[in-house]
Chains A and B, each alone.
Chain A
Amino acid sequence: MNLLLIFISAALVNNFVLSYFLGICPFVGVSKRISSAVSMGMAVTFVMTITAVVTWLVYHLILVPFRIEILEYVSFILVIASLVQLVEMFIRKVSKPLYETLGIYLPLITTNCAILGLALFAVLREYDFIESLIFGLGAGGGFTLALVIMAGIRQDLELGNVPKIFQGAGITMIVAGCLALAFMGFAGI
Chain B
Amino acid sequence: MARKKNSLTYEVLKGIWDENPVMVSLLGMCPTLAVTNSAMNGLAMSLATGFVLLCSSLIISLVRNLIPSQVRIAGYVVIIATFVTVVDRFMAAFFPDLSKALGPYIPLIVVNCIILGRQEAFSAKNNPGRSLLDSFGMTLGFMSVLVVLGGIRELLGSGGIFNIQVMGDWFNPWMVMILPPGAFFTLGILIAMVNLINQRRGSK
Contact = CB atoms under 8 A, between A and B. Distances in A.
Q: Are A and B part of the same complex? A: yes
Nearest to A163: B192
Interface stretch (B126-134, B135-143, B174-182): B174-182
A89 interface: no
Dominant SS among interface residues on chain B: helix
Nearest to A18: B180
A165 B192 CA distance: 5
B185 A174 contact: yes
Contacts, number: 124
Interface in A100-132: 107, 110-113, 115-117, 120-121, 124
A176 interface: yes
A173 B180 contact: no
Contacts of B199: 164-165
A117 B180 contact: no
Given A24-B29, A74-B85, A171 B188 contact: yes
Given A23-B30, A78-B74, A170 B189 contact: yes
B110 interface: yes
Q: Give the bracket for the number of chain A residues in contact with chain B.
A: 35 or more
B95 interface: no
Contacts of B184: 173-174, 176-177, 180
B108 A177 contact: no
Interface in B54-85: 73-74, 77-78, 81-82, 84-85
A181 B192 contact: no
B104 A121 contact: yes
A166 B108 contact: no
B180 A165 contact: no
B73 A81 contact: yes
A21 B180 contact: yes
Nearest to B192: A170
B152 interface: no
Given A81-B73, A110-B73, A184-B180, A173 B185 contact: yes
B19 to A, nearest CB: 15
B111 interface: yes
Given A21-B183, A78-B78, A169 B107 contact: no
B187 interface: yes
A60 B104 CA distance: 19
B107 A73 contact: yes
Contacts of B183: 21, 177
A19 B191 contact: no
B188 A170 contact: yes
A186 interface: no
Contact of A19 (B26, B81, B180): B180
Contact of B191 (A22, A121, A169): A169
A25 interface: yes
B172 interface: no
Contact of A177 (B27, B77, B185, B192): B185
Interface of A: 18-25, 28, 70-74, 77-78, 81, 107, 110-113, 115-117, 120-121, 124, 163-167, 169-174, 176-178, 180-181, 184
Interface of B: 26-27, 29-31, 33-34, 73-74, 77-78, 81-82, 84-85, 88-89, 103-104, 107-108, 110-113, 116, 176, 179-185, 187-189, 191-193, 195-196, 199
